[in-house]
């Protein structure tokens, strides 16, 4: 059989085997020839048991040449053709030796297999079961640490608590102010358009007062804090998990729940009701702006009306709710953070799922509380 | 290959704000040389490396790579220069949300026009060079620290760089792995003809691989010794350098404690 000739190589039978002569530059930028014709030629003549190289004409080369040679040599090894690299430049020879120095570890390569649907359902179920178990475990730990704290035995740094309170309280005021006023404005607007038809403008005050005090104040604060603080907790604890900082606490015999979760939980339990009161107040101011500009109701009239229409118990219900929301936001933020995997994307996932979990829990809890207070008649 | 200065540093001063770390640094690295930057902890070795790879801008002075002034070039030119260098960070700095194959594929996809098949071939070749054949689909968190480091090296070599920077290559490796990595560095230098700059305080590896070295001192804030590591060990008369290179076997321990504590 004849030789295979290409502008970059010539493969010809010589002596007892093949000789591959390489010419010109072999860099990726110069284009690397297809290896298939070579392999076909080699397999066409199984009697030839040796492959030699001639690299005298070889110009510049980079990984392009190397990947070509590696594939060629791997093929020869499969076909039991002996490869002699002596004709190649010394650098190439050394790299080839390196590349074949450590054989591929058996079983290292992964096979991606499609799973049957039942296996998938089974895996998801087991995963869900495990995650429920983790959650219960976490809640249990929180309760135990809280009890310990009441006995004055919980170990966390007081400065941490103050720092967390600052982060979850005063720093949140600007955004709460903005959202609070806007929610008040929107409530008043929606009410004003309808109530004006009946000449009942003054009841806008009732609407805004009741709405803010019972529902919107607590709800909006909770959602803002879920996005602002809950996500931050998940990201902080998640990063600590990645950096083995949480392991460091555990090996010192300090419970991460006591040391990290408790201050955050307490901070949110303290600041959320306060922020809720503030948001209620801001919402009512927002309503007052609409009433005084659109409906010709004076500030005095407006506040008088709210005082009569909204008894204190509505405010108290809102404040109690926001305390509960605080617990939910802190717990889901910290839980997702502690659950976090050990990569950068796991931290992102923890933060996202902390927000989603908090918001779902907030809305569900709100519905449950509304039903309970309906039954109790408060 | 003709010998030329691959890397030239003129009067470099490094500072964080007002705090000067090192000043008046002058040295050159020749093509194909293994150049070691050594010194005690906190003397600014890693900061110097961050300057050389273009992560930090010098407070004063110039850095020339292949004769081009790194900080007088435009952002585009700088990226072009930097893409010809490979950096191995202390912990490997692999992107944790990508598999090893994806990690190596990023620079290849960014800077070359290779086809997918070619990229796959390059990835498996580079991984086999560092002894990780078959580990393409593993995430960094699933392999050991030493393997992460080698995978980091495979990524640093993805674009066939002509200059390689290593930040503490032996840190966190057992003596055997660290020795193997040193051998690998030597092999790669010999076969690729690449220039290698290593930041290290591991004496064994400094003596094993270093052709030339500079010694940074944190008190005098500049280079206090230059030369081949072995020659420095034999002939340096500076007590600080001798203490470092002999692991404080020479010179009294008392001054040692006073200097470092």
When scoring B1, B92, B117, B128 by the number of chain A Cβ atoms within 10 A, the one with the most, hence best to mutate, is B128
B9 in reach of chain A (CB within 8 A):
no
Q: Are residues A297 and A212 part of one domain? A: yes
CB nearest A344 (choices: B97, B125, B131): B97
Count of pairs with CB atoms under 8 A, one residue in A, one in B: 78
Cross-chain residue pair A70–B187, CB shorter than 8 Å: no
d(CA B51, CA B54): 5
pLDDT at A223: 96
B183 in reach of chain A (CB within 8 A):
no
Domain boundaries, chain B: 1-84+161-228, 94-159
User: A110 in a domain, yes or no?
Assistant: no
The yes-or-no verdict on residue B244 having pLDDT over 50 is yes
The secondary structure of residue B11, as a DSSP letter, is E
User: A116 in a domain, yes or no?
Assistant: no
Cα distances (angstroms) measured from residue A74 to each of A88, A247, B125: 17, 45, 11
- Among A5-19, A103-117, B129-143, B149-163, the least confident range: A103-117
Q: What confidence tens digit (pLDDT) does each residue in A129-173 have?
A: 998 899 999 999 999 999 998 998 888 888 889 999 999 999 999
Mean pLDDT of B107-112: 85
User: In this structure, what CATH number is given to the domain that contains residue A77?
Assistant: 3.30.750.24
Closest-CA residue of B relative to A31 is B114
Q: Are B29 and B63 in contact (CB under 8 A)?
A: no
Cα distances (angstroms) measured from residue B127 to each of A35, A95, A102, A186, B181: 21, 12, 10, 61, 14
Cross-chain residue pair A104–B134, CB shorter than 8 Å: yes
Which residues on neighbouring strands pair with residue B215, listed in sequence order?
B38, B225
Q: Are residues A338 and A207 part of one domain? A: yes
CB nearest B191 (choices: A91, A101, A102): A91
The yes-or-no verdict on residue B98 having pLDDT over 90 is no
Q: Are residues A301 and A188 part of one domain? A: yes
Q: Are residues A239 and A166 part of one domain? A: yes
pLDDT at B29: 92
- Among B176-180, B196-200, B212-216, the least confident range: B176-180
Cross-chain residue pair A66–B118, CB shorter than 8 Å: no
Share of chain A above pLDDT 70, in %: 98
d(CA A95, CA A26): 15
User: A124 in a domain, yes or no?
Assistant: no
CA angle A345/B56/B199 to nearest 5° reads 85
Cross-chain residue pair B125–A105, CB shorter than 8 Å: no
Provide the shortest C-alpha distance from residue A315 to chain B (in Å).
47
pLDDT at A317: 94
- Residue that is last in its domain, among A99, A117, A150: A99
CB nearest B114 (choices: A28, A70, A99): A28
Q: What confidence tens digit (pLDDT) does each residue in A272-304 have?
A: 999 999 999 999 999 999 999 988 899 999 999
The yes-or-no verdict on residue A94 having pLDDT over 60 is yes
- A308-315: which pairs have CB atoms within 8 A and are 24 or more residues apart? A309/A205, A309/A206, A309/A209, A309/A210, A310/A206, A310/A209, A310/A210, A310/A213, A313/A378, A314/A209, A314/A210, A314/A213, A314/A214, A315/A213, A315/A277, A315/A280
The yes-or-no verdict on residue B261 having pLDDT over 70 is no
Cross-chain residue pair B112–A66, CB shorter than 8 Å: no
Provide the shortest C-alpha distance from residue B238 to chain A (in Å).
39
Cα distances (angstroms) measured from residue B80 to each of B53, B68, B161: 12, 11, 12
B93 in reach of chain A (CB within 8 A):
no
d(CA A35, CA A314): 80
Question: pLDDT tier at B1 (50, 70, 90 boundaries)?
Answer: very low
When scoring A32, A36, A67, A241 by the number of chain B Cβ atoms within 10 A, the one with the most, hence best to mutate, is A67
Cross-chain residue pair A110–B125, CB shorter than 8 Å: no
Q: What share of chain B is helix, strand, coil (3-state, %, to 5)?
A: 40, 25, 35
pLDDT at A169: 92
CA angle A196/A198/A204 to nearest 5° reads 50
Provide the shortest C-alpha distance from residue A27 to chain B (in Å).
10
Share of chain A above pLDDT 90, in %: 55
The yes-or-no verdict on residue A5 having pLDDT over 70 is yes
Cross-chain residue pair A98–B184, CB shorter than 8 Å: yes
pLDDT at A188: 94
Top-confidence range, A4-13, A36-45, B117-126, B187-196: B117-126
Q: Are residues A142 and A91 part of one domain? A: no
CB nearest B125 (choices: A67, A91, A92): A67
B157 Rama class: left (phi>0) / alpha (psi -120 to 50) / beta: alpha
Q: Is residue B248 classed exposed, middle or buried when 0-12, 13-18 and 19+ CB atoms within 10 A define those classes?
A: middle
Q: Are residues A87 and A147 part of one domain? A: no
Buried b (16+ CB within 10 A) or exposed e, A122-148: eeeeeeeeeeeeeeeebeebbeebbee
pLDDT at A112: 66
Q: Are residues A263 and A194 part of one domain? A: yes
Question: pLDDT tier at A361 (50, 70, 90 boundaries)?
Answer: very high
d(CA A209, CA A203): 10
Report the domain count for chain A: 2
Report the mean per-residue pLDDT for chain B. 85
B95 contacts in chain A (CB < 8 Å): 344
Q: Are residues A90 and A158 part of one domain? A: no
Q: Are residues A134 and A53 part of one domain? A: no
Report the mean per-residue pLDDT for chain A. 89
Provide the shortest C-alpha distance from residue A342 to chain B (in Å).
7
Closest-CA residue of B relative to A110 is B137
Q: What confidence tens digit (pLDDT) does each residue in A163-214 have?
A: 999 999 999 999 999 999 999 999 999 999 899 899 888 899 999 999 999 9
Closest-CA residue of B relative to A92 is B191
Q: What confidence tens digit (pLDDT) does each residue in B53-78 have?
A: 888 889 999 999 888 888 888 888 88
Cross-chain residue pair A343–B121, CB shorter than 8 Å: no
d(CA A338, CA A306): 45
CB nearest A28 (choices: B112, B139, B140): B112
Mean pLDDT of A64-70: 89
User: A123 in a domain, yes or no?
Assistant: no
Q: Are A282 and A273 in contact (CB under 8 A)?
A: no
- Among A4-8, A185-189, B194-198, B224-228, the least confident range: A4-8
The yes-or-no verdict on residue A348 having pLDDT over 90 is yes
d(CA B85, CA B194): 10
Q: Residue A190 belongs to what domain range?
A: 129-376
Cross-chain residue pair A109–B190, CB shorter than 8 Å: no
CB nearest B97 (choices: A32, A103, A345): A345
Domain B1-84+161-228 CATH superfamily: P-loop containing nucleotide triphosphate hydrolases (3.40.50.300)
pLDDT at A46: 66
User: A121 in a domain, yes or no?
Assistant: no
Question: pLDDT tier at B145 (50, 70, 90 boundaries)?
Answer: confident
Q: Are residues A212 and A335 part of one domain? A: yes
Cross-chain residue pair A109–B118, CB shorter than 8 Å: no
Mean pLDDT of A252-258: 87
Q: Are B102 and B137 in contact (CB under 8 A)?
A: no
Interface ipTM: 0.75
Q: Are residues A323 and A203 part of one domain? A: yes
Q: Are residues A46 and A176 part of one domain? A: no
């Amino acid at each position: 059989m004849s030789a295979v000739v290409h502008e970059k190589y010539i493969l010809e039978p010589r002596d007892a085997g093949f000789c591959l002569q390489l010419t010109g530059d072999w860099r990726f930028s110069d284009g690397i020839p297809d290896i298939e014709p070579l392999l076909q030629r080699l397999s066409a003549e199984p009697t030839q048991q040796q492959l030699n190289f001639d690299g005298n004409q070889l110009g510049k080369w980079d990984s392009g040449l190397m990947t070509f040679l590696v594939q060629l040599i791997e093929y020869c090894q499969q076909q039991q053709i002996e490869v002699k690299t002596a004709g190649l430049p010394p650098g190439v020879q050394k790299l080839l030796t390196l590349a074949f120095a450590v054989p591929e570890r058996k079983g290292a390569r992964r096979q991606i297999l499609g799973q049957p649907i039942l296996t998938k359902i089974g895996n998801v179920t087991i995963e869900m079961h495990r995650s429920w178990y983790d959650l219960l475990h976490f809640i249990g730990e929180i309760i135990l640490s809280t009890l310990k704290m009441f006995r004055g035995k919980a170990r966390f740094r007081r400065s941490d608590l103050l720092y967390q309170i600052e982060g979850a309280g005063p720093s949140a005021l600007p955004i709460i102010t903005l959202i609070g006023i806007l929610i008040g404005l929107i409530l008043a607007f929606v009410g004003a358009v309808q109530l004006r038809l009946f000449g009942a403008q003054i009841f806008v005050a009732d609407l805004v007062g009741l709405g803010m005090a019972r529902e919107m104040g607590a709800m909006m604060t909770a959602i803002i804090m879920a996005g602002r603080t809950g996500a931050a907790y998940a990201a902080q604890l998640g990063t600590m998990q990645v950096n083995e900082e949480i392991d460091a606490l555990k090996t010192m015999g300090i419970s991460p729940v006591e040391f990290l979760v408790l201050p955050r939980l307490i901070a949110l339990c303290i600041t959320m009701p306060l922020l809720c009161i503030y948001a209620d107040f801001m919402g009512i101011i927002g309503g007052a702006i609409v009433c005084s500009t659109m409906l010709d109701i004076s500030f005095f009239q407006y506040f008088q009306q709210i005082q009569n229409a909204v008894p204190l118990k509505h405010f108290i219900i809102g404040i109690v709710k926001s305390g509960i929301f605080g617990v939910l936001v802190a717990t889901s933020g910290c839980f997702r953070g502690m659950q976090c995997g050990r990569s950068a994307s796991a931290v992102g996932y923890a933060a996202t799922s902390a927000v989603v979990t908090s918001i779902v829990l907030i809305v569900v809890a709100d519905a449950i509380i509304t039903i309970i207070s309906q039954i109790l008649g408060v | 290959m003709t010998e030329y200065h691959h890397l030239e540093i003129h009067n470099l001063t490094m500072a964080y704000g007002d705090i000067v770390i090192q000043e008046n640094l002058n040295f050159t690295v020749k093509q194909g040389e293994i150049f070691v930057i050594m010194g005690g902890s906190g003397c600014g070795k890693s900061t110097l490396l961050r300057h050389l790879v273009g992560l930090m801008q010098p407070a004063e002075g110039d850095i020339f790579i292949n004769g081009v002034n790194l900080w007088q070039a435009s952002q585009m030119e700088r990226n072009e220069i930097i893409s010809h260098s490979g950096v191995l960070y202390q912990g490997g700095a692999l992107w944790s949300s990508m598999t090893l194959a994806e990690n190596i594929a990023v620079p290849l996809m960014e800077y070359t026009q290779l086809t997918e098949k070619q990229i796959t071939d390059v990835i498996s070749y580079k991984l086999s060079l560092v002894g990780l054949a078959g580990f393409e689909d593993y995430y960094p968190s699933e392999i050991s620290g030493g393997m992460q480091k080698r995978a980091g090296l495979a990524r640093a070599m993805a674009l066939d760089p002509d200059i390689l920077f290593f930040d503490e290559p032996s840190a966190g490796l057992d003596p055997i792995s660290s020795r193997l990595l040193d051998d690998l560095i030597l092999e790669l230098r010999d076969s690729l003809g690449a220039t290698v700059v290593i930041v290290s305080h591991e004496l064994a590896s400094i003596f094993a691989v270093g052709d030339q070295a500079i010694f940074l001192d944190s008190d005098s804030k500049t280079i206090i010794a230059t030369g081949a590591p072995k020659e420095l060990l034999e002939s340096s008369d500076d007590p600080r350098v001798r203490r470092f290179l002999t692991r404080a076997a020479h010179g009294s321990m008392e001054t040692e404690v006073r200097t470092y504590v």
